[in-house]
Structure 1
Amino acid sequence: MTRRTRRTALASGLTALALVAALTSGGCSAERRDTLVVLGPWTGAEGIAFEAMLKRLDDGTGKTYAYRGTRSLRETLVAQLEAGDPPDVAVLNSLGELTEYARGNRLEPLDTPGHPPWAPRIDVNGSRHTYWVPLKVDLKSLVWSKKNKGSEGNKGGAGNPRWCVGLASQATSGWPGTDWIEDLVLHRSGPDVYARWASGRLSWRSAAVRGAWTAWARLLGERSKKSVDLSLTTSYEGTRDPDAERPRPRGLLNSPELDCTHEHQSAFIRYLYANAKGKGGAKEGGGVRVDPSARFLPGPAAHDGAYEVAGDMAAAFRGGPAARELVERLSGGAARRLWHEEAEPELRPFFPGAGDPRPTDPGGDEVAAILTGGAKALCFDASDAMPPALRDAFHRAVLRYFRDPSAARLDTLLGQLDTVRAETGGGTLAPDLLCAPPAPG
């Protein structure tokens, strides 16, 4: 949201094109000598909190840090690189993009040790280095449900969830569906198969991958054309009803049009369900709780301890030692403490270390416990680990399959994805870099 980390829907007053132009025409170079510029995906309340942390972090460094937030991150960064004026530091959630930038000599190597699955050491020009660090992380293998519905799973045939589906997300529409496929591959086939597929070593037409697509269709059940069209045009955040006497909050679970009880979505969505409660049940007066998705997904119980995760990583594109130092400071304890202090409770980030500050909103502490020790394996978001062209093709294929989940359509889509896999080399990282147990400390 990122792609899959949330992009707060507060208007910036600029179109994406105007924003790119504003950020590329002197947005960095005018301040180059005295200011280190960080380009990132957070706007609205998230961007305000990150910027406040950054301003507090620059005290006593002799450098000024400035934040430039955009909801068109990839387009902005590509435009700046083509203009020869990249930011000093950029924050991305795609390991595939970061690896391509590193191997294209766009990134500066760091002195920090590897931190899989968030920031592994990779081979570039015959030597191994870390090129980015995790700033914030997210847990994806979760299901949010209406009060008194959260304990009903469908493993073993129990329960009958009515699944919320909102696949629209501007240029990256489809990613909520790819999250479903990825989680199903992980829970049905385990981390080893998942990592081979995510790294391009396993065919899209293999039984493990194909089975995940058909399992998704079975879980969602029969859907009318009206329901399908609604899901394809509904934002993953849901929508408000401006004509209602008391406008309902956003969130797919709050949408009467979708008429659903369960939502498969990562932990960032908790800002829409601030009253969410963990496994103890829904908070009195609240309406939503959160549970591990393994309770609802088919697959061996041995894989229930594996979780799909995502993260926002910082890399130095230019700026020399000062930029590299900033990247390392951004992932340090002081920055995490300040960020936690500046963010609203439901927007407080998750961090990868057990000793880092944890969100205190209901459900947030439980999610943090899984990320920092409760999981057996954390596997990085498969599409974010793929080359960008393959990731984008995956997004489009999910949208087409959702409209027509026939066997013939699936055969065509998986064949096309295998073709893109061959054209792009399939993967950017080795399988053993994509899954790891939670890091100690």
Structure 2
Amino acid sequence: MTRLLRVLLAACLLALVPGCTSDAPDPLVVLGPWTGEEGVAFEAALQRLDDGTGRTYTYEGTRSLRETLVSQLEADTPPDVAVLNSIGELTEYARRDKLRPLAEETAERAYPPWAPTLLVDGRRRTYWVPLKVDLKSLVWSKEGTASDDPTWCVGLASQATSGWPGTDWVEDILLHQAGPDRYEEWATSRLSWRDPDVARAWTTWAELLAGRSGASVERSLTTSYEGTSGPAGPRGLLDSPGFTCTHEHQSAFIRYVYAGDDIRVEPSARFLDGRAEYRDAFEVAGDMAAVFSDDPAAQELVERLSSPAGRQRWRAEADPAVRPLFPNTTGLPSTDPANVTEQEIDILLNSRAETLCFDASDVMPPELRDAFHRAVLEFFRDPAKKHLASLLQQLETVRVQVDEESADTPSFRPPENICANPGG
């Protein structure tokens, strides 16, 4: 080899000479909320996808998902695919023409209530599909603990989004007291925050948690929803030092901190002073994939991730405590429970539930959701009725302002149907 050829080859390897770079396309970027063991499992499943095109994938997992995505959109460097748990945020991105409607085959997997259609320029379209789901409306306790007079664990801290464990309480109570129709009106901003049904949900929460000392209140405001940390990671509120509580109101995802066999899970309805006819209504959440790129491979990626094969691959990569859950829908495989707790959750989600309603705060526009988070923190510290009236008035003011701003886009309509029968 001549000296000139060696120099040219070295230059090509360093990508210094035009025309020497590889023709291979850049990796598709997936932005998502999973870190730790969940992130490792999802990334492993992602890397094992075989689409026959030679495309590769880069996963970016972050707990600051909204801030990261907003920053990328402002810099005009969005991910190809992003996975979000907020229908309110996804709706805003669709309104601003940042999302691409899903391909027909993928849209068929966008079952309610996780992926309601949006009306855009006179056409109903699907803009996201759930990759995994979570069942809320659950209460956790230790085996052998009496359930007649529970002492509630409460941890409201969660980095920048502190307060959401409290909004989950208010939402679940309203669902079981006022029913799915009323819940849906409220979640989609068609019901005033000063409505008696809404106010009653807040006061019921205060009554259920009554008698807490000032020190207990402050500890709950500063303690993570995961509980305290030990050598092996989060211990869960039921196992955390300083907490003498017996029951915890939390979503199915919290099972990852309760790996033993001494924790039981049951529906929350009987604890919430609700009505018998709404006993089998459940609040749910989910992580939905949306396409931000015009690259056709991004659509193909979401199609594969949401397919039966993609789901099975993900479950195979994940440890039992963080295995994703899916509802049974036509053409999709049923969940193979990893343990007794997951089996119980699977039964509630896929056999017992008569109505599923998406997490109300995650349906709300981000400004209203954030105000809701702050309000429950303030109310938890001071649950006086006069203070509650002031907080509800503030939230109503935000709701009206957001509605007025959304009226500037008459060709766009946000989702209204966020409660659905589990069978679709």
TM-score by structure 2 length?
A: 0.88
CA distance in 1, matches of 2:205, 2:336: 32
Q: Percent identity?
A: 62
Question: Per-residue deviation at 1:128?
Answer: 1.0
Give yes or no for the alignment of 1:314 onto 2:306.
no
CA distance in 2, matches of 1:221, 1:299: 18
Q: Which amino acid aligns with 2:144?
A: N
Corresponding residue for residue 408 of structure 1: 386
Greater shift after overlay, 105-114 or 402-411?
105-114
Question: Per-residue deviation at 1:42?
Answer: 0.6
Does the C-alpha gap of structure 1 residues 97 and 249 become closer, same or farther in structure 2, counting only changes over 3 Å? closer
Q: Which amino acid aligns with 1:71?
A: R
Q: Which amino acid aligns with 1:58?
A: D
Corresponding residue for residue 243 of structure 2: 258
Question: Per-residue deviation at 1:122?
Answer: 1.0
Corresponding residue for residue 438 of structure 1: 422
Does the C-alpha gap of structure 1 residues 327 and 403 become closer, same or farther in structure 2, counting only changes over 3 Å? same
CA distance in 1, matches of 2:401, 2:117: 25
Corresponding residue for residue 267 of structure 2: 292
Question: Per-residue deviation at 1:365?
Answer: 1.6
CA offsets 1:240-267 (integer angstroms, 9 cap, x no match): 356xxxx896100012312100000000
Q: Which amino acid aligns with 2:179?
A: G
Match of 2:320 among 332, 341, 345: 345
CA offsets 1:75-98 (integer angstroms, 9 cap, x no match): 111011001110000000000000
Question: Per-residue deviation at 1:394?
Answer: 0.2
Does the C-alpha gap of structure 1 residues 59 and 248 become closer, same or farther in structure 2, counting only changes over 3 Å? closer
CA distance in 1, matches of 2:336, 2:86: 24
Corresponding residue for residue 364 of structure 2: 386
Q: Which amino acid aligns with 1:267?
A: A
Give yes or no for the alignment of 1:188 onto 2:177.
yes
| SS of residue paired to 1:425 | helix
Give yes or no for the alignment of 1:64 onto 2:56.
yes
Question: Per-residue deviation at 1:148?
Answer: 1.4
CA distance in 2, matches of 1:231, 1:360: 31
CA distance in 2, matches of 1:68, 1:329: 18
Match of 1:422 among 376, 400, 404: 400
Corresponding residue for residue 255 of structure 2: 270
* Pairs aligned (count): 389
Give yes or no for the alignment of 1:38 onto 2:30.
yes
Greater shift after overlay, 346-355 or 329-338?
346-355
Question: Per-residue deviation at 1:32?
Answer: 9.6
Question: Per-residue deviation at 1:289?
Answer: 0.5
CA distance in 2, matches of 1:181, 1:38: 33
Match of 1:169 among 151, 158, 164: 158
Corresponding residue for residue 331 of structure 1: 306
Contact 1:143 1:292 in 2 (8 A): yes
Question: Per-residue deviation at 1:423?
Answer: 0.7
Match of 2:128 among 125, 132, 154: 132
CA offsets 1:94-149 (integer angstroms, 9 cap, x no match): 00000111111100011223411011111112211100000000001000012212
Question: Per-residue deviation at 1:168?
Answer: 0.3
Contact 1:36 1:319 in 2 (8 A): no
Q: Which amino acid aligns with 2:372?
A: F
Corresponding residue for residue 15 of structure 2: none
Give yes or no for the alignment of 1:201 onto 2:194.
no
Contact 1:47 1:69 in 2 (8 A): yes
Does the C-alpha gap of structure 1 residues 131 and 219 become closer, same or farther in structure 2, counting only changes over 3 Å? same
Does the C-alpha gap of structure 1 residues 163 and 351 become closer, same or farther in structure 2, counting only changes over 3 Å? same
| SS of residue paired to 1:170 | coil
Contact 2:25 2:55 in 1 (8 A): no
Corresponding residue for residue 149 of structure 1: 145
Contact 1:337 1:357 in 2 (8 A): no
Does the C-alpha gap of structure 1 residues 204 and 93 become closer, same or farther in structure 2, counting only changes over 3 Å? same
Corresponding residue for residue 78 of structure 1: 70
Q: Which amino acid aligns with 1:126?
A: G
| SS of residue paired to 1:166 | coil
Contact 1:336 1:356 in 2 (8 A): no
Corresponding residue for residue 212 of structure 2: 223
CA distance in 2, matches of 1:374, 1:362: 16
What root-mean-square deviation, in Å, do the aligned CA atoms of Structure 1 and Structure 2 show? 1.9
Match of 2:278 among 303, 306, 325: 303
Match of 1:359 among 334, 337, 344: 337
Q: Which amino acid aligns with 1:137?
A: V
Corresponding residue for residue 18 of structure 2: none
Match of 1:55 among 47, 52, 56: 47
Question: Per-residue deviation at 1:222?
Answer: 1.3
Match of 1:395 among 373, 390, 400: 373
CA distance in 2, matches of 1:409, 1:32: 61
Corresponding residue for residue 202 of structure 2: 213
Corresponding residue for residue 7 of structure 2: none
Residue ranges of structure 2 left out of the alignment (5+ in a row) = 1-21, 407-412
CA distance in 2, matches of 1:109, 1:100: 14
